[in-house]
């Protein structure tokens, strides 16, 4: 206890790191995420054949197994799989970031309103949320893809449309319990505006849970996105996408197995990274999501 008083910041940091690293997986997750972010940011300099990222043909080196200089082999038109996997990560991360920046604020705002204003806003928002939640996610995405052109933007739109209700429900649950807290009631008594109470008093207390869920959801959004691409409803050729690459390679099984296996493993690695990181954050914040 004395330590807290003497060096609160350092003690806090130490405690946080202890909670985070107690589960060794979280550290691995952090490492994976940082590595992938760096790799994609500097992709043009870190990959051996940046030109292979898009349309490119080199039939002389088509269908080569893993070796030198193609660490993970080449595809049927001679493009380096490793290069394309790294650039594929760009689309995965882009999808995750865009979907979450669209879905999370929407969901959080609706959850705040529904949890704070009892009565009809609660009923309307939560019933609509329930209906969205009761639709199988992939079915909703498919229905939306049905009326739109299959491409990355529309895939992001479809996935966002099915993702916000989870945040509404999460925040709604948090607000429902927070609104009876002393400091919220105190703010109401002194006449603080609802906007102030919601944004300054309640929202900050929801952030740890929301942040943790966002990290875990990066994993699931990337998974769903790659599934849509795998079905041919997401990123379109010649742009590299991990799901599309797996689907392409599946046609040349088992002889050219590396074409689909390595992009598949790449999906596994990124999803694993975000899941482990999310689990670690959950331990640090001590939240249920």
Residue 28 lies near other proteins (rule: CB under 8 A): no
* Alpha helices per DSSP H over the chain: 2-6, 8-21, 24-41, 43-46, 81-116, 120-133, 137-147, 152-178, 182-189, 194-196, 203-230, 242-250, 258-285
Euclidean distance between CA atoms 64 and 78, whole angstroms? 8
Selected range binding other proteins among 58-66, 105-113, 196-204, 230-238, rule: CB under 8 A? 230-238
Residue 117 lies near other proteins (rule: CB under 8 A): no
92-124 per-residue burial string, b: 16 or more CB within 10 A, e: under 16: bbebbebbbebbbebbbbbbbbbbbeeeeebee
Please, what is the minimum distance in Å from the beta carbon of residue 66 to other proteins? 15
Euclidean distance between CA atoms 42 and 116, whole angstroms? 45
Length of the chain in terms of residues written: 289
Residue 230 lies near other proteins (rule: CB under 8 A): yes
Please, what is the minimum distance in Å from the beta carbon of residue 200 to other proteins? 32
Q: Judge contact between 116 and 188, C-beta under 8 A.
A: no
**One symbol per residue from 40 to 69: x for binding other proteins (CB under 8 A), - otherwise; what is it?**
------------------------------
Residue 219 lies near other proteins (rule: CB under 8 A): yes
Q: Provide the greatest CA pair distance for the chain.
A: 77
What torsion do the CA atoms of 114, 115, 120, 124 make, to the nearest 10 degrees?
A: 40
Residue 1 lies near other proteins (rule: CB under 8 A): yes
Interface pick for other proteins out of 7, 13, 38, 143 (rule CB under 8 A): 143
Residue 126 lies near other proteins (rule: CB under 8 A): no
Residue 160 lies near other proteins (rule: CB under 8 A): no
Nearer to other proteins by C-beta: 56 or 257?
257
For residue 80, give the 3-state DSSP assignment: strand
Selected range binding other proteins among 52-60, 61-69, 139-147, 170-178, rule: CB under 8 A? 139-147
Nearer to other proteins by C-beta: 202 or 259?
259
Neighbours of 281 (CB within 10 A): 24
Nearer to other proteins by C-beta: 182 or 254?
254
CA-atom Rg of the chain in angstroms: 23
Nearer to other proteins by C-beta: 10 or 127?
127
Nearer to other proteins by C-beta: 47 or 226?
226
For residue 252, give the 3-state DSSP assignment: coil
Interface pick for other proteins out of 7, 8, 13, 18 (rule CB under 8 A): 18
Nearer to other proteins by C-beta: 169 or 187?
169
Please, what is the minimum distance in Å from the beta carbon of residue 57 to other proteins? 24
Structure tokens that stand for 275 in this block: 């899941």
- Residues forming the site for other proteins (CB under 8 A): 1-3, 15, 18-19, 22, 25, 127-128, 130-131, 134-140, 142-147, 150, 219, 223, 226-227, 230-233, 243, 246-247, 249-250, 253-254, 257, 260-261, 264-265, 267-268, 271-272, 275-276
């Amino acid at each position: 206890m004395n330590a807290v008083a003497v060096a609160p910041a350092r003690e806090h940091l130490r405690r946080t790191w202890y909670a985070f690293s107690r589960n060794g997986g979280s550290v691995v997750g952090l490492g994976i995420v940082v590595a992938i972010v760096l790799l994609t940011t500097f992709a043009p300099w870190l990959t051996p054949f940046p030109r292979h990222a898009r349309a490119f043909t080199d039939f002389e080196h088509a269908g080569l197994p893993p070796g030198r200089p193609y660490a993970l082999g080449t595809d049927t038109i001679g493009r380096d799989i490793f290069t394309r996997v790294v650039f594929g990560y760009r689309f995965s991360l882009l999808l995750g970031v865009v979907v979450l920046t669209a879905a999370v604020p929407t969901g959080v705002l609706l959850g705040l309103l529904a949890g704070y204003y009892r009565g009809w806003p609660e009923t309307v928002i939560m019933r609509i949320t329930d209906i969205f939640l009761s639709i199988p996610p992939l079915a909703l995405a498919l229905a939306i893809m049905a009326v739109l052109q299959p491409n990355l933007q529309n895939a992001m739109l479809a996935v966002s449309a099915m993702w916000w209700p989870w945040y509404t429900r999460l925040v709604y649950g948090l607000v429902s319990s927070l609104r009876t807290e002393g400091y919220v009631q105190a703010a109401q008594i002194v006449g603080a505006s609802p906007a102030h109470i919601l944004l300054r008093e309640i929202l900050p207390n929801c952030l740890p849970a929301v942040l943790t869920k966002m990290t875990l959801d990066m994993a699931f959004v990337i998974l769903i996105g790659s599934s849509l691409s795998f079905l041919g409803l997401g990123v379109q050729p010649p742009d590299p996408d991990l799901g599309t690459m797996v689907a392409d390679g599946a046609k040349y099984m088992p002889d050219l197995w590396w074409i689909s296996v390595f992009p598949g493993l790449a999906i596994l690695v990124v999803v694993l990274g975000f899941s482990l990181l999310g689990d670690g954050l959950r331990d640090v914040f001590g939240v249920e999501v």
